Amino acid sequence: MAPVPIIVVPVETRDWLAENRAAFPPLHIGRFWIYGSHVTQPQPPASLPLLIDAALAFGSGTHPTTEGCLRAMQMIRNSAPRRLLDMGCGSAILAMAGARLWPSCQIVAADNDPVAVRVAARNRALNAISPAKMRLAVSHGFGSRIVCNQAPYDLVLVNILAGPLSRMAPDLVPRLAPDSWLILSGILNRQARSVEVAYRAQNMRVWHRICLGDWTTIIMRPAAAGTMPQLWRGGA
């Protein structure tokens, strides 16, 4: 067999991350206004701003799973949670959205990837959110003391994948407050039933589903929670 020739071609040095940022216009999801640092236009009146630059962590608001969570949060905004956990936080867009919606809420954002947690810390600073209000942790599941010590949570958001979501159910549900909310995403439509079965086995019930394209976001509550409130649809 003849040797395979190797061709070396010079490639222009380019800041692909900066170019990627510039390609994204501001995004409106309900009241949330998600924008990058390259955006110069003024913030729309009554919007909730989230400054997110493209980075090495998931969560810029453009994916249906993130959008589903942001819409779900606005649907339950009248719940006024006191303690919120963003598990698998990536860029921490959901944790920061919680800080905007519920200014008095104490928030924990956790991820098993140290790079994601560093990105989350940068985003927290860019959005002028106090570290005392929004704590960060590198955590594999509930392995971090920070994550465990803040339980029980009034709202938990998990936007990862269907398999890990289902396996997490026995560890997650005991960390919920009795009248709490759970928002699950990262779920393909065809996987939604299996995820719901895993959480129903832990005495959770479905309150609402949001389907965007091929993806489903599920809002759940403990079966023993009080009267299921009406949807708050403003801005959602």
Do 100 and 50 contact (CB within 8 A), yes or no?
yes
CATH domain 57-222 topology: Rossmann fold (3.40.50)
What is the pLDDT, as a whole number, of residue 60? 67
Strands 134-138 and 153-159 turn out to be unpaired
pLDDT tens sequence across 19-75: 665 667 899 999 999 999 888 888 999 999 999 986 554 556 689 999 999 999 999
CA distance 75 to 65: 15
186, two tokens: 């990262």
What type of residue sits at position 198? Answer: A
pLDDT digit string, tens, across residues 72-89:
999 999 999 999 999 999
Return the structure tokens found at 147. 């994550």
For the chain, the structural domain boundaries read 57-222
Mean pLDDT value across the chain: 90
